[in-house]
Structure 1
Amino acid sequence: MKIEESFDNKEIIKLEIANRSIYLGSKYNMTREIEKFKDVFNEINKHYQVIIFGAAGGSWIREMKEQFKEREIVFVEPLDELKEKLIENISEINNIKVISLESDTFQSDLKKVITKRFVQFVVFSNYDLIFPKEGYDLKNSIKDDITDKTINENTRVVFSKDWFENYLKNLPVIAQSERLNKYRAAFSKKPAIIVSAGPSLEKNIQLLKGNEDKFVIITGIRTLSTLRNEGIKADFACVIDGSEAMYNVAKESLNEETHLFFSESSNYKIINEYKGEKVYFTSPNYINLNIKLGNFSTDLVYQGGSVAHSCLAIAEYFDCDPIVFIGQDLAYTNNQIHSKNATIKGEKLETDNFDFYVKDIYGNDVPTTYSLDSFRKGFEEFIKGYYERTYINATEGGANINGTLIKTLKEVIDENNNVIDKSCIYRYDRPNLDKETMLNELKDNLKELIKIKKFAKEAIIENDNLVGNFKANNKKFKKALERLDYIDNIYKQKKDQFLLINSLFAPVIKAIDIQFYDEKVGNYESELEHVTFIAEKGKTLYENVNECIDFALPYINDAIKSLEDIISE
């Protein structure tokens, strides 16, 4: 890479690619390239995050410092040296992120920097001509990440109340359950099998019978009863789903004695009714809340959207090697949703819809969905991050998972003949949690939420009268703005009190984002229009905050009572 000057005295970069000298930008008229970019950029809605492919060094960005202000900007460079040059040139501009396609961590870097559902992709100058494949792949990666974020956001919206209820009703169980940390490296270098409910499970599940002592067998709770019906004993089961539908799926397994891994948001009915020992692990979503309520978190377990991701992460925590997948189709093999022996009464076996095709382990097309393919990518991301062990796909069907070896289950069984000592599973370690701190923090949180609720009611009234006071041009308008600023600051200062009810805000935030999507952003036709917008948005926000607190208070009271009962025993 060589830094030169264009004929119009702008910094320009010269690269040597395939024995050819190529300029990023225009050697003759770099000013024209910059102006073309400005024209495109200035038309982009200010709500959008902007991802820009390339900057040709980026010295020109100083000219756009004001336009970039208060915007979310990400530059993606195809080469590490271009990234470093860009960072050097924009070091005084704080709101710009820069990542490189050459980085080993590019995919995870891209996930981190994409923060909005609305994203505009822009190519600077001639980058798409010099790096066509890179630009094409980048656009697809952005599309995939936005799809994943949308799926996750929709999940948070749909299950917001379930997760909140589950968290509080699971607290008493968490206080008395074994913890993940007991099992760190408990089965080091021993083979693990992750059992999932994909259509191909019926092809080979029977081969596990009589071979259970050679593997650490981990399964989702759906397939726990499937294994039992086949006469196969699992070592661990896992449940992360918090929905009522999951409870219905799990009913056949509630009397099992297999140790059950669960997290804060797992369905509380399953956790309270399950007969066997429960083992608690911390979901990353709750780490800050758990710290506030007494710092009772365990080590974290990776969660990629499905229970199989958690099973995989648990096997990694055990330090198992190799880790083997069966029933992990991640696709509708033979047009089936699940295997026949993992489909419960009332569920459809076959699907009527899919989104697109992916390649299966044999190189043929197999139908899948955006959700299932997102899970596949989650596995591949995990495998790439924990590459020091062997991963085997013994599903014998379904989508190909990059990073895995393809083998039959029979081959895997034939290669592993040693009996595993599993005695640690049956040694109960009583948790030593500070239940008093947990209880007192809940009580304090309850009091603070009741106080905050009073301010929400006041803010609703102030916003309701804001437009009228503005039109009357009276002193009440200024006082109302000052009071609303004061209440807003109280809410910011008390943000820790909202950790407990954060999940309840997911649908609120999305609804307000949609209802008050404002394309004008500062370009209102009149001040009255602006004040009306602020008043309506503020009133809606605080009405929803009020409703969330009203919903939460009875559940918090119940959790306090349950913990008091446990402490008094």
Structure 2
Amino acid sequence: MNKRRVSFNLSKAKNGMSTVSVQIDDHPEIFLHSTVDPIKEARDWLDRVELRPYTAYFVLGSGLGYHIQVLLENLPEGSHIYVLEYSQEGNLLAAASKIFPNSSWIHDYRISYWATDTLRDLAAALAVDMGKRCINRVEFCRYYPAMAVYMEFYKRIEEELVPKVEELFCLNFNNSIAQGIRRMENAWFNVPYISNSPGITAFANHFAGKPVIVVAAGPSLNKNIEVLRKCTDRAIVIAAGSTMGALFAHEIRPCFLAVADTSVAMYDVLAEVLDPGAILLAPYDVQHKVVSEYPGKRLFAVDGTTMTLKGVGHLLPDTEGLKANLSVATFALNFALHCGADPIIFVGQDLSFPSDPTAAQHAKGVRASGYLRNEQKTYVPGYDGGEVPTEPVMRDIIQYLETIIKLNPGTTFINATEGGAKISGTLQLKLSEVYDQLLTENILINGIADEVFSRFEAPSNTELLKVLLDIREDITRTCEVTEGFFTGVVREIEEGIEWSEPLYDRIIGQIVSFFEELSQESIYQHLKQGIAPYRELVEYRMREGMNFQQKIENYLDLKRCLLIVLERLDTAVHESVMRLKKMQIEMIEQNGREDHERT
């Protein structure tokens, strides 16, 4: 791309807001925003953007960011904004954040900025980032005034990057579909254990004024491990599941073990270090094998980002929504805040990668791997000053933590990681200093938690069992109706003699109506998490246009996916029915033994 002389000139719009014009070489200046009302212009731009949950919004061109600000204000649940700019020299937002008041939105954790003059590996890096966010669809939002400044670059974006991102997104979408089915399946397998454990509502303000240590698996944990062992009698320790190998090796028993991973790989990590003395803290849809094999007490929360078990939530113990979408450490932090803890102390929360690529990415004993690819690399302020390398999702976690800290000014937050990234708003102390200065009294840790569990009375689950059996009947009926409907569709296609556009439209319309009617059925709320991502994919594929045969193949794929989801749901519900019946028998036998002992 030829080097051009580009100058930016700030001026005032008629409504008093700032606007900016660009002059390229000796050509007439181009205004990037309205000279009358930039916000109104941005809202008009937003009217052309389809707002739907769990969407990656790729904004091409930023200017001063009025359109991005308006998009952020209306950003649907689970969505993320990716701003693509031509190199840092064209990124006016960085300057705007320093010049204009009320521009803190620019640093919102739901926005990430990708400024580059090369597209090499950028699509792969973006796809990796999307894969970590449970994104269901992609939307490209073109801001043409800013794109006009670097037309050659954005032409390459359109020709090279957009198709590649969409291709990789579809690959990641298959992962998202698998994740949705796995979350649904896990939650229904976990129903008996959720029903027989107190929800976290019972822990509201239960740790008021007591210190809580949130332990993550960063490499800085190594230097704190011995001091951490001494802290377990003086603070409530909530450890991320990935830390248990390191803690187990040093005979450290946390009060809570926080696990949010949905995959069976997490069970493999924990299988040899499950500790009956720690209380499992998990969202409804955590890997079900971890839950069923766990030897100790269990405590569940709704993951605030999912739709899990809404259909039977009224029959389960009262609980709260805790977001687990960024990391298990943020899940643990939200629980500590729910319990009224003060202070909250971070340990092992590096949120960065060592500068030496051969250095360990995690604490000793942690069964995990990590690496930082060059195209993912970004820099953030370091704990010890200067800057440290990190990647976009870790940067988002930092921003999320900083936002939570600002929203809780009455709570003291201490970063005792002693390395990695700086977390603004925290006091930076060594863990040994925290122990000597703040953790001066022993706490009856187990007694605090045991009090809640001793008050909890397990329900009989009779009504829950009835609902589960009704769900299994609905599953059977839905399978039969689905098979019957699509058998009829295929027969009509095979017997067709003269085809016409109206006939195509009628058949496609019947299929669309079938899925719309299914979405209104009571069974749909139970399987939505498993099937909704695939419905989104089918709609996404057909946006660019397909012939009749391609559309039919797409819908037949959706039908096959629906039957798979129904089968997986039926298996999980059946297992829960069997487990609940067994629990009922065990409860009757236990009550009988207690009655016998009393007499």
TM-score grouping bracket, smaller chain normalisation: 0.7 to 0.9
- What is the one-letter code of the residue matched to 1:366? V
Structure 2 CA distance for aligned equivalents of residues 319 and 472 of structure 1? 67
Q: Distance in 1 between matches of 2:530 and 2:372?
A: 33
- Matching residue of 2:584: 567
Task: Report the AA paired with residue 245 of structure 1.
Answer: A
Structure 2-normalised TM-score? 0.69
Partner of 1:337: 361
Structure 1 residue matching 2:213: 3-state secondary structure: strand
Residues 260, 490 of structure 1: CA spacing in aligned structure 2 closer, same or farther, 3 A cutoff?
same
Q: CA 1:501–1:399 in structure 2 vs 1: closer, same or farther (change >3 Å)?
A: same
Q: Which residue of 2 aligns with 1:112?
A: 76
Does structure 1 retain, via aligned residues, the 8 Å contact 2:347–2:416?
yes
1:212 & 1:25 partners in 2: Cα distance? 60
> Which consecutive residues of structure 1, in runs of 5 or more, have no partner in the other structure?
1-11, 27-31, 38-51, 84-97, 521-528
Q: How does 1:46-61 map to 2 (within 5 A)?
A: 56=37
Match of 2:455 in 1: 429
Q: Find the counterpart in structure 2 of residue 218 from structure 1.
A: 238
Aligned-partner SS, 1:260: strand
Match of 1:312 in 2: 333
The alpha carbon displacement at 1:351 in A equals 4.3
* Distance in 1 separating the partners of 2:571 and 2:93: 61
Aligned equivalent of 2:470: 444
Amino acid at match of 1:419: N
Question: Are the equivalent residues in 2 in contact too, given 1:221–1:239 (CA < 8 A)?
Answer: yes
What secondary structure sits across from 2:417 in the alignment?
Answer: coil
Which shifted more, 244-253 or 229-238?
A: 229-238
- CA RMSD after TM alignment: 4.4
1:511-553 alpha-carbon deviations (Å, 9 max, x no partner): 5356x25335xxxxxxxx6544543333332232123223332
Give the conservation status (yes or no) of the 8 Å contact 1:200–1:397: yes
Match of 2:399 among 377, 383, 389: 377
Matched, 1:251 2:271: yes
Deviation digits for residues 405-452 of structure 1 (CA, Å, limit 9, x no counterpart):
211112211221133343222232334446223222222222222222
1:282 alignment partner, SS class: strand
Letter in structure 2 aligned against 1:487: F
Q: Which residue of 2 aligns with 1:456?
A: 482
Task: Find the counterpart in structure 1 of residue 544 from structure 2.
Answer: 519
Q: 1:276 to 1:16 in 2, by over 3 A?
A: same
Cα deviations across residues 339-397 of structure 1 (Å, max 9, x unaligned)?
11x324xx55x747463142321223433333333333332232233333121111000
Cα offset for 1:337?
1.7
Q: Cα gap change, 1:470/1:201 in structure 2, threshold over 3 Å: closer, same or farther?
A: farther
| Contact 1:460–1:543 (Cα < 8 Å) also in 2 | no
Match of 1:173 among 175, 193, 210: 193
Contact 1:356–1:369 (8 Å) recurs in 2? yes
| Residue 561 of structure 2 corresponds to residue 544 of structure 1 | yes
2:426: which partner in 1? 404
How much does 1:158 deviate? 4.5
1:331 offset after TM fit, Å?
A: 1.8
CA contact (8 A) 1:99 1:110 kept: no
Structure 2 CA distance for partners of 1:235 and 1:16, relative to 1, 3 Å: same
Quick one: distance in 1 between partners of 2:520 and 2:416?
A: 52
Q: Secondary structure at the match of 1:178?
A: coil
Please state whether the residue corresponding to 2:543 is helix, strand or coil: coil
Structure 1's 120 and 193: CA in aligned 2 closer, same or farther, altered over 3 A? closer
The one-letter code sitting in structure 2 at the alignment partner of 1:379 is L
Q: Is the 8 A contact 2:416 2:428 kept in 1?
A: yes
Residue 295 (structure 2) aligns with: 275
Structure 2 segments unaligned to the other structure (5+ residues): 1-11, 23-27, 98-102, 115-125, 135-171, 589-599
- Contact kept, 8 Å, 2:112 with 2:392, in 1: the verdict is no
The code of the aligned residue for 1:182 comes to A
Q: What secondary structure, in the 3-state scheme, does the structure 1 residue paired with 2:309 have?
A: helix
How far apart in 1 are the matches of 2:208 and 2:315? 28
Counterparts of 1:378 and 1:460, CA distance in 2: 46
Q: 1:407 to 1:255 in 2, by over 3 A?
A: closer
- 8 Å CA contact 2:181–2:565 kept in 1: the answer is no
Change (3 A) 1:163 1:54: farther
Query: What CA distance in whole angstroms lies between the structure 2 residues aligned with 1:474 and 1:362?
Result: 68
* Matched letter for residue 582 of structure 2: D
2: CA distance, partners of 1:567 / 1:438: 12
Q: Does 1:151 align with 2:132?
A: yes
Matched, 1:388 2:410: yes
2:96 to 133, 140, 153: 133
Q: Which moved more, 1:373-382 or 1:215-224?
A: 373-382
Is the CA contact (8 Å cut-off) linking 1:466 and 1:477 kept in structure 2? no
In 2, are the aligned partners of 1:445 and 1:497 still within 8 Å (CA)? yes
CA distance in 2, matches of 1:475, 1:353: 52
What is the identity percentage for the equivalent residue pairs of Structure 1 and Structure 2? 21
Q: Distance in 2 between matches of 1:188 and 1:326?
A: 20
Written as runs of structure 1 = structure 2, the 5 A alignment for 1:62-141 is 68=47, 71-72=50-51, 100=69, 109=73, 111-112=75-76, 115=79, 133=96, 137=106
Q: CA deviation at 1:256?
A: 3.3
Matches within 5 A, 1:3-22: 13-16=13-16
Relative distance call for 1:481 and 1:263 in structure 2 (3 A) is closer
1:524 counterpart residue number = none
CA contact (8 A) 1:293 1:437 kept: no
Are 2:355 and 1:325 aligned?
no
AA aligned to 1:564 is K
Q: What is the distance in 2 between the residues matched to 1:129 and 1:305? A: 28
Alpha-carbon distance change, 504 to 288 in structure 1, aligned in 2, over 3 angstroms: closer
How many residues in Structure 1 have an aligned counterpart in Structure 2? 493
**1:23 Cα offset (Å):** 6.7
Q: Which amino acid aligns with 1:364?
A: G
Is 2:263 aligned against 1:237? no
Q: TM-score, normalised by structure 1?
A: 0.72
CA distance in structure 2 between the aligned counterparts of 1:551 and 1:54, rounded to whole angstroms: 57
Please show how residues 501-516 of structure 1 align to structure 2 within 5 Å: 501-505=527-531, 508-509=534-535, 511-512=537-538, 516=541
Amino acid at match of 2:543: D
SS at match of 2:346: strand
Deviates most, 220-229 or 309-318: 220-229
Deviation string 1:301-334 (CA, Å, 9 cap, x unpaired) is 2324222112111211121111111111112235
Find 2:435's aligned residue among 406, 413, 426: 413
- The amino acid across from 1:311 in the alignment is A
- Give the residue type in structure 1 aligned to 2:214: I
1:397 maps to a residue whose letter is G
